[in-house]
Every structure is written in structure tokens, then in C-alpha cells.
Structure 1
């Protein structure tokens, strides 16, 4: 079975919703307005072909109107534009169409990622733009009037198009909603708000999106065509339900958020909400735990040796040097790394080179530190770090008078390892950035903090109950804290409720599909090749659902590049409830399809973005993920 055949089989029947107005199903709905054999398209999925258009009487595509820049919506535009179709794009997103290469060549869009926008779905190459569209514009095409509405939310510049045809008004509304009272996902709403940047902005664009939904509800359309989902009528819009669902989710999230500690006024409107958890007790540090600098702490042995925890800034090495001069420590014998974020690892290479300090970390963190090119994640640093020792969950060892234990602790990121230190009559838990007196550090969708029993923050709660530390330390905080049993129970209750709220708000059968931006991902994300080389890319799948699911994969390659159909895997079964990681030591490893690709010997030095067409459980999702290949 070829991957192309799989994608065609995933399509549903095309639909006519008004005189001369059609909807072609695909990864997204493509609107087609037909007049005398000519067509105007609204968005252009890569499943839109001349053959499908001919079946509804189209001989020529004259114009394409884009609701947003994301390639799932517009990957099919290139051949039509090359044949003369005029492309209209949202006013504030023009550069992402015309100068796509500038985005992909911008170092800041690859490393130290604290911004979530524009995100990973930028077009893979530039395309000629004929005009832009924004609020109040009116487009006339062959007797059809199309009114433009600014409807930002999932992207900052998204627009909707209100088409009047045959006495009916049809609104192509992009991703404002996907069904009455529902949105397609939540990770697309990651955006800074209230003075915080995108990194802390889970649900940050929800207010913008609700304003867009209110505008649509009042726009006079008889029928709404979302990018994802079936068309529905004005009477079915369910604005009140959408507002109610977002309000409930926001209250749930703010009730147990670490952001209440870092940014006390961020959720000012909810400060007196009875759902908000009372902060945990804070504690002064024991004398053998001392802040070094920045986000780094040290465990100090009676012997004079120091065990460093994280090393994300040059000021840490300067402080350690002063300590040695002042005879406060005799040596830094090792550094435990809690997680891969740049503010915890940026000075590790200097630590290794200058102090010959061995690096110890968990099996979840080590691969990213050793091979950062293979990953694209928030706050990732580009410099590889040699790891002296990799630990497994529950592994313990002695260091001077202390007993140490490695714990997988997926509370701020899936790739986090806490360190339990027992000594001098107490248990002290270094958790990286996973938790604050006010609750949970789950404010970044890209960090992959899963919902569900035994996963994400609920897994952390299980560990806290089991090890019962007297001190919990988040290294961005000056004091330790300790949750009561009642607070642990309350946070778990809210997390259970959150699963239901997200499932109500989105169309997925498991809430994590709506929040986990990386449930499909390419590995390695980035690699260098020589002209003529054959290389492999794995497309990895996390199945958050309760049943085994089938996935299909097809690479989209430049001219003269090929993939090996015999050697590659295009269809695979993904077991239920996988762990989010491909590794031999996890109980439920993710599944992957390995695609073997060959570059032509004539390939010139360039950065090549290779998207993959993804089909999941029979639904085509479009060019949903990509890998990055540099030809050298």
C-alpha cells in the first residue's frame, strides 16, 4: 500500500453548502467557490487536486484566500500559484508566506525557544503573494462578495471569510472553532499574556479566540465552515457553551498553578476564587543545602566536597571558584542535572572542561543533553554535553554521608529527573522546576506534561506521597516548601477534573492529544548529510488513547530526492497508552515509522525542511510534522 493511496482513502465525500459553494474534505476543509468553470479556493489542503476540482466543474483556479499561514491549511497552494492563481493572505502573516526561508534560517527559531509563535507549521518554502486581507476588506470575485473578518486566536493574524452566494451567507472561520462549543486543540493557544511571555502562556490566546468567536456569532452567517470539522448552522454555534467551557478550564488551571507564585497578579480576576489552593508552607533550607547562583544549588558534605545541582550560567562557576578560594568547599565532585532547559545546562560544558566535573542525570534527560540536534523542544540549548553516569528511576547510591536517589519526575517537562537526598535526618527533594507552593509548573504545552493516572503531575503527586520529603526545592525559588496530604489530594482532584474539561472542549478521545504538541515528532529533528547520502528519519507517535491505533506516514520531498519504499515503514500499529518516549527501558515505548531517504548527488548546500503527511486512525492530519536536513 502506498502512502499516497492511504491519504486518498482517508478523505470523506465533498459537500455542497450553497449555490456554487463547495467544501472539499482533507486535513482541513478547503472552500471552493465555482463560477463558469473558474474557482476561488479558501485555504488549500494538499489533498486538493485538479481531478477533485474537475468533479465539481472547475477548470481553472484563479484565486486562493488563506485563513492563516499554517501549512496544514495551505500545503496544496504551490502548484496552483505556479499556474497563475493569485494568493491572498492575512495582512500580518505575509512575511511567513513570502519569506519562509528567513524563518527557517533564523537561529532564534531553533534554539533557546521561549516563544511559541509562529510555531512549527510555517510553510516549508516561500510563495508569491498577490495581496493581503484584513478586517473590513471586501473582496469581489466574479459577482461574489467576500467580507474579511480578523479572527486571531490559534495564530495572531488569522482571518475568516464571509461569502454571500445564492441568498445565503457562509463563513469560512478557520480554527476559531471546530464544532459547536469546541476547539481543535489547546497547544495552539500557547501565547504570552498579562506581561508574561509565550513560555508561561498556556491558554494565553483563549481570550483573543473568544473575542473572535463572539465576532463570528454576530456576523450574520447562515452556515459556518471550520477548518477542522463539519459545517454547522448559526443556531448551532453555541457561543455560550464555548465561553462556559473555557471559563471552567481557566478556573481549574489557575486554581493550582505555580504562576500564582511567580506572577501573583497574573490571575488577578480569580484571586478570590474559592477553587484556588492555599499555598504550601515554605521552609528555610537546611545548612548543608546552599544556593550557588542563578538556578544552581549545592549539597555540601561534612568532608568539604560539593555536589552541584544544575549549571545554567557562568556566574555559577565564578561562585564555585570563590568558594574554593575561601575553603568553603574542597572540590565539586559531580553535577546532577534535573532537566535539559537552557537555564539549567548552559554552563555545563565549562563545568566539565574547567573543573573536570562529571555530569550525572536521568535516562530521560541524558539523550537530549548528549544529542540536542535530534530534538526540538522549548528552552533547548545547542551544545552537547558528555554524561558520565545515566541513572534509572529509583536507582540509589551513596555519596559521603548522604544517600541519593534518581526519580523520573515529569512535572514541568516529561524529560525531568528529581534527586532525593537523604542525610542529617531529613529527606530533601530537588525537583528542577516541577512545582511551587501554589501548585504545578504545567504552563508550557511543548514541555509535554501529560494528564492521566500515573502520568505527568499526577505521577509526581504519587512520588511525593511515596517518598514523603521534608523539603521540596524548585531551583527558581529561594525557599523549600512542603505540600500537605490534603494539598496533594486537592491537586489530584483538580487534575482529574481537567481531563474531563479538556475532553469536553476538544474533539479528541484523550485530553493529551489536545495539549501535547509533540505527540507526533521527527527523530532526529535535525541532521547534516552529504550530497547523494542515504539517511533515516523516524516519525515517532505517542498514543494517548486507550486502544491500539493505526498511523500512516509519507515524506514530502524536494525534486529528485527519493525514499526507499521497500526498506521504509509507512503504516504502523501504535499500542495504547504509550509513555511519550522511544526507549527500551520504558514500560510502554512509543512506536515509530523509519523512513529511508536519499538525496541526489547534485544536491546543493542548503537547509531542507522535510514535512511528513500523517494519517491517524483513518483521519488525514496533513503535513503535521517535519524534520530539518542540512546538506553540507
Structure 2
């Protein structure tokens, strides 16, 4: 145990553990193999917390021992799952046909229940105040802890860098089979930290370094990223993250899904969509550890364009690449969520829906926007319109300002010409959706169309006619290529709830032909039943159920049409009253 700064000690086992003392208590940065608990400085009588920069075994193996000793262990939300279930993560290292290059075998040996940390927040332990700064690189959700210490700023960087010009292990920077995602993330993180000008950089491996080591290491990594041909525009995008489409309209060039900024004359801003800011590359899987929003370009936005604050963000739909960063905006910039009325519930209760691309956390709207009702924000007139097709819970935002009519269409249409029919069946797509959206676009007559994943489209008169023709073709082909029942939709919501809670089954018939059939109900959460179904053309039928039983019991629904036609299925699950989402438990059918 060496004192490297006044009241800051370093113990080395499988990694450096930093012991920051506050009178007779201390906070540990990383835990190594846990042996630090046997040789704490003599004045330390109580360890207030262990803060983990990331989940790898060499920095976190002793977490279980710390928890057993009554010491709370904190780690970023996305990193904690591997400590909670290391056996699962270790098994992922042995999967066959595996294309996820991350080192799952570097997981901790023993399970530990950790406490979650949030990016950009400051946590206080006695007189010690640590700020959590996102520094992806060694893992997607890695963090640096910043501590203002006796007129100095200390940066505990984990494995972000090893020495000036070196990182601890290049292997951990490859998050896909042949990508350089972590390299790009490391460079961005190093440059971001350098702007904060820490006095001392304290790594998990290697010796203390001055701030200059951050930029030096970023420069040293750049040739390898170029050689990989991964994200070759990284530094260009970092320098100019926003494109000025109009003096009052900006587009984020770095985000996974295009995010837009309306600039008012009074210096305030309103954002349209905000998912993954500066998306430099994502890991193969889509779990919490692999999907991490941050606010990387926001300081540049405010500084370069004279923006004094962000009033609100309006999402076009609920998908994670359009909403994942909204909570961070709310917490760190005071921005409100203004949600169109058809998005409010799915954002607030994502666990109630069986849909793809749901963000993990509840996001609560501060204002609900009525569909079809215009409202004023400074010099802008904004009208949300229902826009189903790519997603059921989606809207188009019509913005009128400075003599222009701009339609933000989210992901409804794709491709450079803006004619790609970007539908996805699990998003509750109906065969009539694109005829309806073509009618909407033709009625609104925007002079500029902005989407989530394509360049701006300036439509001519022929464009709207092409949308109509393509929408009608899509509807006709769905009617031609499958039997009637396959054109129906069946869903149960909420998908999980406590015993006795109402579950509504919706049988939706988007076709122009009435549907008659039978609904067969079964499962451990209900008595068997067979009900007649009659869903009118272009309408739906709903049936209420109150499934009951033990946690894990299910109610199953099977919709049958004429003999010989395929069936549709849905289900809902009973969960314990105190449980959250159903992830990884065992269920009885």
C-alpha cells in the first residue's frame, strides 16, 4: 500500500486499487482481487463504497467479498449484470457460432449485487464527491471517476489507457467480430477527458500520468483505427457534429438515428429525437451492457451555435435509437419530454408491451401533445400527426417556420429517394399503414422531409404520387400473398402483471373483409375457454381477462379462422407483485 498523493493510497493486486481517505473512512476505486481489504491504511475504520470503472475480472473480482463485508459496490447500469450473473456471462464465452468478440471470459468469479451509477451524476460519500464520466473503450459502459481533491482534479480512468501512448489491452476494444468500436470509443473518451483537464490520470494498470497523456494516447491510437478502416471520419465528425440545414435547423451528423435541433431567435432549442449521440459503433448484442447513450456533442452544440438552453425534446417514435438519451437530457440539461399522445404510455411503461426496440427505462413525459392539434413554440408552429407503418406508436411532426413546411417523418420511409417502405411486422404493422401515410404526406405537402436514417428529401409533385402507388401495391400484395387470418393482428397488453390484473386482448382486422373465428384460451393462469370472434372490416374486437395464479403462470391465446388456415398466438405472464420486467426467470406455462 503506497501513498501516491496526500490521503490517496494505491494497492496493487490483479489491478491497482485506489484508496481515497476521508478521516477514518475511505472510498475504493476498483477492488482488484479483494486483498486490499486486508491491508487498508491504519486510519481507515470504515469503507463507504467501492466504485468500479468497468466489470472485467482484474478490476472487479473482489466485489463479492466487499458485498459480504457490508460494503456497497457501485458500477454503471450497463456493467452490473455481469457481476450479478457471472455464470451466464462465462457461458457466453463458449457459445458456438459466436460472432461477439468481447471477452466474456474476463468476468468476475463470484456473483455480487451492485448498486447502479448514472452517467454525469455526482455521488457524495462523506466529504468525497465523485462525478461519473462516460468513457467507453475497454467496455461499452466503462466510466471514469472524477474527484476534485485539494485543488486538483483526479481522473480514475480504469483501463482507458495504460501509459502515454498505450492502452492496457487492445483485445477488449473489439466489440464485434471484426470491428474497431472500442478503439473509436477510446479516442473519443480520451479527447473528451482531456478537455476537462484533470491534474492526474490514475489508471487501473500503469503509473499515474499528467493530463497530456490523454491526447497523446488518442493520437497514438488513430493510425490503428485508420488501418482498420473503421470510422475513418471520427475526428471530422467530432469537429463538426452538426450540419446546418437552415440557420434555424440543425442535424446531428453523429447520432445513430438522425436527431434534429430547432433554434429559436431567443437562443432556446427544441430537439426532435435523441437516442445515441455520437454513435461510433455498437456491440453485437442489444442488452443493456451493449447500448449506452451519452451527451457527447451537447457542449459543442451549445457553444458553437449560441444556444442558451434546451427546452424540450419531441420523439417521432419510441425506438431506442430515437429516445435512449432523453432521460440524460432531462437530468443534465433540464429538458422536458413533450410526447405525442400515442407515445406517452409506451415510453412510460415499456415493460407492458411486446415490441422490438424498446428502451430499458421508463421515460415520463412532462407534456402530452394532442395528435392533429398545432401548438406554438417561439416562432415555430408544430403539429404532431399519427404516422403508423414503421412503428405503431409513431408520429410525423410538421414544423412551419420562416415560410417553410418541414415534415419530420421518423423512420417511416427509407432510402435516398425517400420511397423505401420501412415496415417491420413485430412493430404491429398493418397492410393499410402506407396508403394512409401516403395520403397524409400528400395532404401536408411539406417542402422538406427529414427522416431518421437518410439524407433530407426535397419532394416534387411526382414524389407524393409515387408514395400513393407504392402504398397501394404493398397493401394489394399482402392481400394476395397470404390467407385472411395471417393479415390480422393479435396482441395482449400488458404482457405481464400481478395476479388478477386486467389483460386486454385485441383482435385487429385491418383488411376490408369481416373476420369470424374462434379464440382458444389456455394456460396455468386461466381456465380453458373457447370464444367466438367477430372482428369487423377495418376494425377490432377486444376481450378482457383477469388471469390469476403464481408468479410465472401464463395465459395463452390462439386465434383460429376457417379450417386449414394458420393460427395467431399471444400470451401474458403473471409476475410477482414486487418484481419488475421478466428477464431470466423460470415460468410455468
TM-score, length-scaled by structure 1: 0.46
Q: Which has the higher contact order (CA 8 A, sep 6+)?
A: 1
TM-score, length-scaled by structure 2: 0.49
